[in-house]
Structure 1
Amino acid sequence: MAAVDFYFSTLSPFTYLAGRRPWEIAARHRVTLNLKPLDIIALFPRTGGTPPAQRHPARQEYRLIEMQRQAAALGMPINLKPAHWPTNAAPSSYAIIAAQAAGGGDLAQLVTSILSACWAEEKDIADDAVIRGCLDGAGFDPALADSGLLAGAETYAQNLEDAVTAGVFGAPFWVTADGARFWGQDRLADLDAHLAGGQA
């Protein structure tokens, strides 16, 4: 089965706004999603970007406007300035990496619940109890939060390198097997159309 690399950050509001749609598109076209959580703050300077806090005030203001606009269009709740953001994205990313390797649960539920915890529920996704709750709710062993940390760290770092090599510069970002790239939750329709054309 063909795979689509799905690069994202568990701190990304626009990945949160993508919801379950990436998995629905993948299922419709019989492709798998290869989840590649990465350090978005480290990605920005590597690819000519700037972290949100360092952007011009006009860009920071428009980012919030766009987040609110997109959330309203999708009917999704969102806290524009979450209590626990930014936080350390590594623990939640390691848990996703471990869950993908272990299998047996609902990865879409895991990823969306972690993002919802940050952007809609005012929870700290670096907190072990929050991560364990998300794992358990998605049908995974909560102990995955504490296992495979070395492998998780190595994969997390490699995902960043893979992203730079693949031309990824933001999140969410999808790269198909034929090299087509799609940036942003508002480009999911384009990804869908690309896959519908028989190209993976």
Structure 2
Amino acid sequence: MAHIDYFFSTLSPYAYLAGTRLEDVAAKHGATITYKPLDVVALFGRTGGTPPKERHPSRQQLRAQELTRQSKKLGLPLNLQPAFWPTNGAPSSYAIIAAQNAGGGDLGKLAHGFLRAVWAEDKDIAQDDVVRAMLADAGFDPALADSGLLSGAEAYAANLEEAALRGVFGAPFYITDNDQRFWGQDRIGDLDLHLAGKL
């Protein structure tokens, strides 16, 4: 059975634009997914990247145009200036880690719920009530927001270290069990073809 390690940030607009296409591709090929939320700004610092606000204006302008085009193309509403961005991505990431360990709900729905909350719903995913609501909506116990904070913090930090070691430098980033790497929501089609044995 194929496996995909999914490195992402709950604050990434490009991870938001991925929607649930990764989960659709995995289901199509019987592949499993391990969700590995991380601090993408810290990852930029480790791998030669630059946070969006520090990029040259020409890069920022193109990013805004590209995000707008992609959101229209994919039919996903997107606010280029969300009310709560940036915010602290750790609480939502800890919740995903705790939910993955607990099982029983829909992790893809949970991850996308946090991303949609930032980029389309103007919610602050650092707030406890938002985290609890997202857990419940995806079929998990809202009390997971209170449990496993230490293990969540450890896994969150470990995900960053693993990402840097395995050649990840942005989000979303997908790595298969045979070390094929795919960066960006616009490469999910290539991931699909690879799992089909065509790439």
Aligned to 1:44: 44
Q: Distance in 1 between matches of 2:194 and 2:146?
A: 38
Secondary structure of the equivalent of 1:88?
Answer: coil
Aligned to 1:113: 113
What TM-score, normalized to structure 1?
A: 0.98
Q: Does 1:80 align with 2:80?
A: yes
- Once the two structures are superposed, what CA deviation does each residue of 1:146-177 show, in whole Å capped at 9, x if it has no partner? 11000000000000011011100000000001
Aligned to 2:5: 5
Aligned to 1:25: 25
* Mean CA deviation greater in 157-166 or 189-198: 189-198
Size of the aligned set, in residue pairs, is: 199
The CA deviation at 1:3 is: 1.5
Q: Does 1:139 align with 2:130?
A: no
Secondary structure of the equivalent of 1:81?
Answer: coil
Gaps of 5+ in 2: none
- Once the two structures are superposed, what CA deviation does each residue of 1:18-54 show, in whole Å capped at 9, x if it has no partner? 0010000001111111100000010001001000011
Q: Distance in 2 between matches of 1:74 and 1:10?
A: 19
Amino acid at match of 1:145: A
Secondary structure of the equivalent of 2:169?
Answer: coil
Q: Does 1:63 align with 2:54?
A: no
Q: Distance in 1 between matches of 2:68 and 2:198?
A: 34
Aligned-pair RMSD on alpha carbons?
Answer: 1.0
- Once the two structures are superposed, what CA deviation does each residue of 1:43-71 show, in whole Å capped at 9, x if it has no partner? 00100100001101111111111110000
Amino acid at match of 2:101: A
Aligned to 1:194: 194
Identity of aligned residues (%): 64
Secondary structure of the equivalent of 2:11?
Answer: coil
Aligned to 2:157: 157
The CA deviation at 1:72 is: 0.2
The CA deviation at 1:2 is: 3.0
Aligned to 1:101: 101
Amino acid at match of 1:131: V
Secondary structure of the equivalent of 2:98?
Answer: helix
Gaps of 5+ in 1: none
Q: Distance in 1 between matches of 2:107 and 2:83?
A: 25
